[in-house]
Structure formats: structure tokens, C-alpha cells
Structure 1
Amino acid sequence: MIGLATIGTSMITGRLIDAVAAVDGIEVTTVFSRDRARGERYAREHGIAHVADDLAALLGSPAVDAVYLASPNGAHCAQARAALAAGRHVLVEKPAVATAAEWDGIVELARARGVVLLEAMRNVYDPGFEALRALLRRIGTPRRASLGYSQRSARYDRVLAGEHVNIFDPALAGGAAYDLGVYCIAAMVELFGAPERVLGASVALATGADGAGAALAVYPGLVVDLSYSKITASDRWNEVQGERGTLAFDHVARPRAARVTLLDGTTTAHDLPGAQNNLVYEVERFVALVNGADAAADHARTRETLRVVEAVKAAPAL
């Protein structure tokens, strides 16, 4: 049984705890928070037995085989390095780190220590995503794709009021590209591989973070546009246009509905498989890696995703 400690007490951590409860071979043993009282409240809410407020002590605990990092993005790299150096497996919430170079460094450390490192990019492990891959074969050679994720943050009003908010702090790797754009980029990399070139632009906020953005990824014979925002909202579907038809699907982070329209006008609707809480699939992959599966493809996807994020963020702000 893999004993997992969670670092971070946000909503996503609660969803991860629920997902772990549905997977064999792993259990959450400890909640970590620098604020002991907050950690104790969180542990009670989620039925977790142990609480820690000292990271070094946590990483030395015999009850902890692995850690899940859901702290502010900018803290991921240092915390991952500490956990890996202590011989603990690491499941790190997306974005794993801020740059491909940081990722390469912790991948090398994980290999040296003989432990597992995995980015918790939930959509690429979702069975609905695998179903999309099968449907793509019906539409012929892909030539155009459009992927988007726009969801206005409930905390944006605090930014407008002049408050400091971690997810909109560029020093903590906050902003729309890191928070939502990565879902689109990871999906693109999983479906089509790494692009040859990336063009982009973003809407800058007073905090210095990007509130929204768009990018164009160029492949041989294929162009993909990406859009994402934390300051506006959209419920538009995603689309891949092939030479024989078009595949549309509802959500880039949790695909559950799709339709295929062929050139003759024939349209078929498809319900896609998957749990309501699709973090369960990244947990299953993590357990498989701890049990000996090869993480090379997982690591490569994360690296290419971060390279695209870096290219997008290097583009001029509007």
C-alpha cells in the first residue's frame, strides 16, 4: 500500500483525496499544511488520520511513501526536489513546474533516486480522451484544430479590487496559461506531438500575470489554435477538422460528449466514458508507475507541454 501525503489544502486536493479512495493500492495517510490548525481542520473534513506542519519531518515519516503537491505553482519545483531527494515518489499538480529546464532537473533527480515523478495532468489519462483518439481516425488527416478552456476565476474580482491572489501572481507561476492553457497544450501534444513553431499573445493584468491568451501551433500540414482565459468564460466545443470530416467534443479537461460530422453530412453523436471525478485516472497511472511501469512517455509529454507554454509566455502581451 502506497502511503500518500498531500501538500496543499485547496479544492483540487479534496478531489484528489476522493480519487485516491477509489483506487486500490494507495491511501492518503497525512495532510500537510504550514498552518497546523488549517491542516487539522482539513484532515477532519476528509477523514485523514495524520497532520504535519514540518516538511522535513513529513518526508522522513515511515507513513509517507509519496507526496501529492498542490501548493502554489511556484513552490512545486523546490518541494518536488526535497521529496525526491528524500526518496519519496511525487505526483505534482499541473503545471508541474514553470519551465522545461526545471522539469528536466527533477526528472533526472527522480531517476537518480529510483523514485516516480508524474505530473497530474488529468485529461490525458481520461478514457474519454482515448475514445477521442479512436474517433479521430474517422475524419481523415487532421489539418486544423481548435482547443480552448476559458473559465472566469471566482478570485478575479479580488484582483480587480487590488488584492494579492496567488493564482494571479507571476512570481508563483500564476496566470491563465499555467492554470488553464496547459490543458489545451497537453491535449494537443498528446494528440499531435510537439509543434514545430508556436506564436502567441496574451492579455496582461495589473499583477503582471496573463489573464487570457491565444496561441497558434504550427505542424507540417496542420495548424492548431489554442485559447484560454481566467477572466472570461466560454462553453464552446473543441474541434479537429480532418480531410474527411470534423470531430467536435465538449471539454478539453474532461471530455464526455463528442460528435463526428463527415463530408457527406452524416453526423453521429458519442457519449464518452469516464468518471465524474477524472483525477482517478492520474492516480491509477501513478500507482502503475510506482509498481514498475515506464514513465518515459509521461515525462516527454510534460516536457513538450512546458516548452510550448514557455513559447506562448515569451510572446508579447497586449
Structure 2
Amino acid sequence: MIRIATLGTSTITRLFIEAAVDVPTVAVTTAYSRDAERAAQFAGETGLSSSTCDLDRLLSSAEIDAVYIASPNGVHARQARQVIDAGKHVLIEKPAVPTVGEFVDLISAATNAGVVVLEAMRNRYDPALTAIADLLPELGVLRRASLSYCQRSARYDKVLAGERVNIFDPALAGGSLLDLGVYPIAAMIHLFGEPDRVVGAGIPITGGADGAGAALAVYDGMVVDLSYSKITASDRVDEIQGESGTLTFDHVAEPGLARLRLLDGSVTDHSFAGPRNNMVHEIRRFASLVEGTADVATDHAETVATLRVVEQLRTAG
């Protein structure tokens, strides 16, 4: 049994704990927060057996094998290194870190310590995305794709009211690109590989973070447009176009339905049955890596490629 502690008390941590129930080889046991009262309250609300506000004590505990990090993006690297240095495995909520260099450093440290470091990018491990990849040969030569994740954050109202909010704080690596944009980028990398170059632009909001943005990724003979936003909403489908047909699917972070339209007039619908919470797949992958039944090299390569695209877009503004 892999015993996991959580760092962070946001909604995503609650979803992680909910998903972990369906993975019999793991048990989430302990909640950490800098605020002891908050840690205890969160543990009580989520059914965890213990809580703590002492990170050093937590990491020295023989009762913990791994840590799930879901704190603000800007502190992931420091906290993950603490976990690794303590000899614990670490699963880091996306984005694992804001830069390629930080993740490469974590890979090196984890290798030296003999532990696993993995980014919790849920769509990368969802079998539905693999099923979509399996349909791509039906499209013939691929030429265009359009991938998007635009969801207005309820916390944007606080920004408009002049409040400081972590997910919109550039000092904590907040903003739409790192929060939502990484989903279509990761899907793009998984489906098509790393692009030759990327150009894009973000829309700055009060406080300096990007509220929304768009990008164009260029491949040899193909382009992919990416869009992401935390200040507007969209329910349009994602689309992949080939010379023989078009494939659409309903959600880049958790595909459930796809439609394949070929130029011969045929139309086929595909439904991807799966758990209500698709974070279960990343937890299963993490468990297999900790147990030594899988190789993490491909996982790391896709995270690094995703972060390279992110870095290009952050530099472009």
C-alpha cells in the first residue's frame, strides 16, 4: 500500500482524494496545511485519518511513502525538492513547475534519491485521449487542429474587486496559461509530438497575470491553434482535421464523446466510458511507477516538451 499525504487544501485536492479511493494500491492518509486548524478541518471533511502543519515532521514520518502537491504553482519546485530529499515519491499537480530547468532538476534529484517524480496531467493518462490518437490514421494526412480550454473562474470576480488571488498571482506562477493552457498543450504533445515552433500572445489583467491567450504551434505540414482563458467561457468542441476527414471531441481535459466525419460521407460516433473523475488514471500511473512496473522516461519527456512550449509562450507574452 502506498500511503500518500497531500499538500494543499483546494478543490483539486478534494478531487484527488475522491479519485484515489478507486485505486486499491494507494491510501491518502494525511492532510498538510501551514494552518493547523485548516489542516484538521480539511482532513475531517475529506475523511483522512490525520493532519499536520509541520512539513518537516510529515516528511520524516515512516508512515508516509509519497506526497501529492497541489499548492500554488510557484512553490511546487521547492516543495517537491523537499519531498524528494526526504526520500519520498512525489506527484505534482499540473503544471509540475513553471520552467523546464526546474523540472529537469527534479528529475535529477529524484533519480539520485531513487524515488519517483511525476506530473499529474490528467488528460495525458486518460485512455480516452489514447482512443482519440488511435482514430487519427482514419483522417489521412493531418493538417490542422484546434484545441481549447476556456472556463471563467469564479475567483475572477475577486480580482475585479481588487483582491489578490493565488491563481491570478504572477508571483505564484498563476494565470490562464499555466492553469488551463497546459491542458491543450499537453494533449497536443501527446497526440502530435513537440512542434517546431510556437507563437502566441496573452491578455494581461489587473495584477499582471494573463487572463486568456492564444497560440499557433507549427509542425512540418501542420498547424495547431491553442486557446485558453480563465476570464471567459466556451463550450466549443476540439477538432482535428486531416485530408480524409475531421475528428471532433467534447473536452480536451476529459474527453467523453468524439465524432469522426470522413470525406466519403460516413459519420461514426465514439463514446469513451470511464470513471466520473478521470484523475484516477494519473494516480494509477503514479502507483505503477512507484511499484516499479513501468518506466517514467516517456512521462518526463512529455512534461519537458509541454514546459518548453509554455516557456516559449511566456517569453512571447
TM-score, normalised to structure 1's length?
0.98
Other-structure match for 2:154 = 154
Tell me what 1:124 maps to. 124
Match of 2:49 in 1: 49
Match of 2:310 in 1: 309
Tell me what 1:221 maps to: 221
Q: Deviations over 1:182-227 (max 9, x none)?
A: 0000000001111110000010012110000000001111100000
Aligned partner of 1:184 in structure 2 is 184
Q: How big is the shift at 1:107?
A: 0.6
- Residue in 2 that maps onto 1:64: 64
Mapped contact 1:127–1:273 kept (Cα < 8 A): no
Letter in 2 for 1:51: S
Match for residue 135 of structure 1?
A: 135
Distance 2:49 2:268 in 1: 49
Deviation by residue 1:216-259 (Cα, 9 ceiling, x = unmatched): 00111110000000000000000000111000000000000000
Partner of 1:282: 282
Say if 1:131 and 1:273, in contact at 8 Å, map to a contact too.
no
Query: Is the partner of 2:200 in helix, strand or coil?
Result: strand
Distance 2:206 2:49 in 1: 42
Aligned-partner Cα distance in 2 for 1:62–1:118: 21
Residue matched to 1:16? 16
The 3-state SS of whatever aligns with 2:23 is coil
Partner of 2:233: 233
Q: Find the aligned partners of 1:135 and 1:128 in 2 and give their Cα distance.
A: 11
**Aligned partner of 2:138: which letter?**
R
Q: For residues 103 and 277 of structure 2, what CA distance do their matches in structure 1 show?
A: 27
Native 8 Å contact 1:95 1:119 kept in 2: yes
Residues 150 and 230 in structure 1, CA contact (< 8 A), matched pair in contact too: yes
2:52 and 2:302 mapped to 1: Cα distance? Answer: 33
> Which deviates the most, 232-241 or 259-268?
259-268
SS at match of 1:264: coil
Give the C-alpha shift of residue 127 in structure 1: 1.2
Aligned partners of 2:108, 2:46: CA distance in 1, in Å? 34
Question: Which residue in the other structure is 2:299 paired with?
Answer: 298
Q: Secondary structure at the match of 2:96?
A: coil
- 2:6 corresponds to: 6
For 1:312, the aligned partner's letter is L
Normalization by structure 2: what TM-score? 0.99
State the superposition RMSD in angstroms. Answer: 0.7
- CA drift of 1:141 comes to 1.7
Query: Which secondary structure does the structure 2 equivalent of 1:255 belong to?
Result: coil
Cα shift at 1:89 = 0.2
| Partner AA of 1:308 in structure 2 | V
One-letter identity of the residue aligned with 1:140? G
* Number of aligned residues: 316
- Paired with 2:274 and 2:77, the residues of 1 have a C-alpha distance of 30
Q: Secondary structure at the match of 2:92?
A: strand
CA distance in 2 between counterparts of 1:273 and 1:200 reads 35
Q: What is the deviation of 1:145?
A: 0.4
Indicate the residue corresponding to 2:96 in structure 1.
96
Aligned-partner Cα distance in 1 for 2:107–2:140:
36
Q: CA deviation at 1:50?
A: 1.0
Deviation at 1:315, TM superposition (A): 1.3
- Structure 1 residue 39 and structure 2 residue 39: aligned? yes
Mean alpha-carbon deviation: is it higher for 153-162 or for 43-52? 43-52
